[in-house]
Amino acid sequence: MSTTTDTPMTEVFQAVYIPNLKPTASLVPKEMAVSIATYPPLDQVSHVGGTSVVFHAVLDVPKDLAQEPWELALWHSGDREARGAWTEAAFSPSLPAQTPSVLHEADTGLARLFFSLTLPVWSAFSFTVKFRQRPDQPWRWARDEHDIDDGQVTVSQDSDMEDGPVDLPDLIGNLNPELAWASRTSQCPGTSLWSVKAHVGGAIGDTPGSASPSLGVPYAGQYVKEFSLVRSWSPWLVPRQGKRDPTLKLEDAVLCSFLSPQGKHLVLLAVSGLNNIVTVLRKEALGATHLHIQNDGTKAGVGIILVSVGKNFESAVAATMYHARSLVMAGVTVPVMPEWYGNYIDGLGYCTWNGLGQELTADKVAKALDTLAENHINITNLIIDDNWQDIDYRGASQWQHGWMDFEAEPRTFPNGLQALVSGIRSRHQNIRYVAVWHALLGYWGGLAPDGALAQTYRTVEVERTDFAPDSLPVDGKMTVVAKEDVARFYNDFYRFLAEDCGVDGVKTDGQFILDTLKGATPRRELIDSYVDAWMDASLRHFSGNVISCMSQTPHILFQNQLRNDRPAFICRNSDDYFPNDAASHPWHVWSNAHNSLLTHHLNVVPDWDMFQTVHEYAGFHAAARCISGGPIWITDVPGQHDIGLIRQMTGTTTKGKTVIFRPSSIGRTISQYTKYGGLNLLKIGAYHGRAETGSPIMGLFNISTVEVTEIVPLSGFFGLTPSGNYVVRSHVTGKVTAELEPCLCASLLTVTLKTRGYDILSAAPLSTFRNAGGDQLSVANFGLVGKLTGSAAILNSVATEVAGRRVLIVTTLKALGVLGIYISTLPKLSIGDLMVTIRGQAIPFHTGSVSKTDQHVLEIDIETAWNEMGLESGWANEVEVKITIPFQADARRETGTMERVIPNP
């Protein structure tokens, strides 16, 4: 969102986005403080199968007290004989084989103690923990010292695996008999699906038809947790968790999910955009869920929600989204569309908005790009954001300003847009794509009534509601292009940008304003007309190189972004990056990670917005953008750059181009029911590569105000192969775990992050070989270890056994850097035992070394080797590296180069 200076969003941010947020802090003096973490975790919901669960706990205690006989106990409600009463179970110190891997050490001055216990379980239960230093001291409770809620465990027994048939009345208590519901075929195994329809009358004149029927009470109110994506205000979705306080304001939800005590997810999806009907969900004070339906069409119709249930949250959501797409696409022929965005989205971008401020000039843009070049920051994409257009200044704020003409503002861009763009291209050969900003209706206040554009195209006057938070009144009338001329208007504008000015794409903002129009007639006539004309013109003139912004309205989400009859396009995934709002930064990443649970099912590439690399949250934002799977935009003030951080996000190809490392899948939270503001880490999962041979990735972010320790299971990573083994590497510490199996309860990771702390963990699949002599060798590929998501630099990696004497790893990388290879026997080998080649030539000896943080990791400086060997790029950007590893150490040693101590395979 663009706003004028000193935006009042600072004052209202928490009230709008994070209601009822409580501070997180230790409630005891620092010298007495003890940090505790468990798995299954406190303050979260975990699901287990079988008849028992193994609990693990870690205590960080002052070192001078580490030899005390610390006791730890589980206080829980799961004892069958106690009939629901809370009982106690004692932990024991963990055996070495049971101790979770430690990827982050405790603070200096603290000692880390591990405990475990096995607890028989029969049904869902809650738990907390207590501890004491010695038996003669009183128990101390985690919930008291850290203000942390109880943990909850949902349980499925073997008898649950073959559930009998269920129908919608079994899942929703007091199901409204006036609703029409029917079972549908689900495209996701393990899920059931229903369609629910509610009648709504047609619009009468400019008054839309409306209806608010009750649906019923999910699980008759007997659910453990709930999650929803609601409209914080008109343009954006935000997450909500927990059984909300009925005193809170009602919020319109697009997606809701309810978790049963048996670990089943009941998902409700409100479908909009069909026949000018918008449907949302509202939770009422007594737990009932209602449909709220608005019909802008002239005929009576139906509001639709889709309901699914399954043991896997992702599958249950997917079942509703797939069926919603079939409804939206009914009667539409889907052509074969190319993936257009590969090169565009894989480059580093720069946006002028926060970096150059809101008084934009051609000179400021030119100087900013020169400064980037002087600092050797080779961006690929440029967005010239708001304030380049020729606008009038009527009204008190930018929300009333209107657009005059296609050409740039003559005072601040005196030579015109074409001159600016051509100058950029001549001075900065690295910039391949130049995009400009504009609002969907022209500018925030539409068109200037007396401007050239209003005289060229047929217009209509419309009125909008006050859509913004309390301090941004934007209601009133505005002039916009009429329905009859919208297509011509967009074709003319984009032809001017593309053909006359050399612009490659657009960032089209303010799309939600269509949703604020008063009256059924303008909404019915203009919403689809504008969105369709914009999309058609962008495909024709920019091959779809566009960013859709402020467009998370229910109608646009389904009618534009869910459709798959055109290429995917970039779409902003949350409200803005506010550099000066301290409370906004952890929330920004949190909100994006949760919104992606929905948006990764759309035909879009979620964009987590720009950020600045010199900022107290810079690394936090950088790690989030890298794992998001979307583009990366920086908006640095000229001359204020963290070059080291930029290098962690980017790499240089063999052709000298700067690229980013996007995982194959879109990053999204792995814990959708965990509430914001607790003592827990935000965990974002992603995956890169082919199924079963690719690399699961997990981002960790401390969104609290104190240091947080957690025990994270390997099984929490996306895309694990249950039968495979993995090694996990921390980007921040460089530490690598022992070889782990996903199915073992001991495959746990201990992680600790300070306030604003972050890390990205890469789980590399192991390839294990045994020769006839009984020798065993396991290898894994971490990709480029100096990069935040370095495993996403891997284009292909294959390990094969050669003649029972050695293993050959062939890796293709998208950029240069330091390649990290896990070799189980590396401590027994010498660098001279290995052969590493690029294009058949051995690399210089000094470019290979053993990692300083783990003796099992070989680090190969491909970039230095490439440059010293004088290699040149061929027709492709990729670089192929071959590494030969013997099963046993070779008696011969090379001292100058990593040459052929092993014969060529």
Q: What is the pLDDT of residues 330-345, one digit of tens each?
A: 977 665 554 555 678 9
Q: What is the rounded average pLDDT of the residues 633-657?
A: 97
Least reliable range by pLDDT among 4-13, 144-153, 166-175, 306-315: 4-13
pLDDT bracket for residue 722 (50, 70, 90): confident
pLDDT bracket for residue 16 (50, 70, 90): low
Q: What is the rounded average pLDDT of the residues 194-218?
A: 97
Predicted confidence (pLDDT) at residue 3 exceeds the cutoff of 60 = no
Predicted confidence (pLDDT) at residue 27 exceeds the cutoff of 60 = no
Q: Please state, in angstroms and rounded to a whole number, the distance separating the CA atoms of residues 829 and 850.
A: 10
Position 147 scores a pLDDT of 82
Question: Which tokens belong to 639?
Answer: 């001359």
Predicted confidence (pLDDT) at residue 164 exceeds the cutoff of 80 = no
Position 720 scores a pLDDT of 94
Predicted confidence (pLDDT) at residue 679 exceeds the cutoff of 60 = yes
Which residues lie across from 712 on neighbouring strands?
749
Residues 173-187: tens digit of each pLDDT: 999 999 999 999 999
Contact criterion met (CB below 8 Å) for 758 and 585: no
CA atoms 556, 558, 560, 561: torsion sign: positive
**Mean per-residue pLDDT of the chain:** 91
Q: What is the largest CA-CA distance in the chain?
A: 91
Q: Is the peptide bond before 579 cis (omega within 30 degrees of 0)?
A: no
Q: What is the rounded average pLDDT of the residues 459-478?
A: 77
Contact criterion met (CB below 8 Å) for 651 and 862: no
Residues 64-91: tens digit of each pLDDT: 999 999 999 999 997 666 666 899 999 9
Q: What are the E-state strand segments in 177-327?
A: 180-184, 191-200, 209-211, 214-218, 225-233, 236-241, 253-259, 265-271, 277-283, 289-295, 301-310
> Per-residue b/e over 815-831, b at no fewer than 16 CB within 10 Å?
bbbbbbbbbbbbeebeb
- Strands 348-351 and 381-384, by their bridges, are parallel
| Helix (H) or strand (E) run with residue 486 in it | helix 486-495
Angle formed by the axes of helices 584-599 and 618-628, to 10°? 0
Termini Cα distance of the chain: 58
Q: What is the rounded average pLDDT of the residues 798-814?
A: 95
Q: How distant, in Å, are the alpha carbons of 72, 100, 205, 618, 845 from that of 58? A: 10, 9, 66, 30, 43
Q: What is the rounded average pLDDT of the residues 747-774?
A: 95
Q: Which residue has the higher pLDDT, 857 or 146?
A: 857
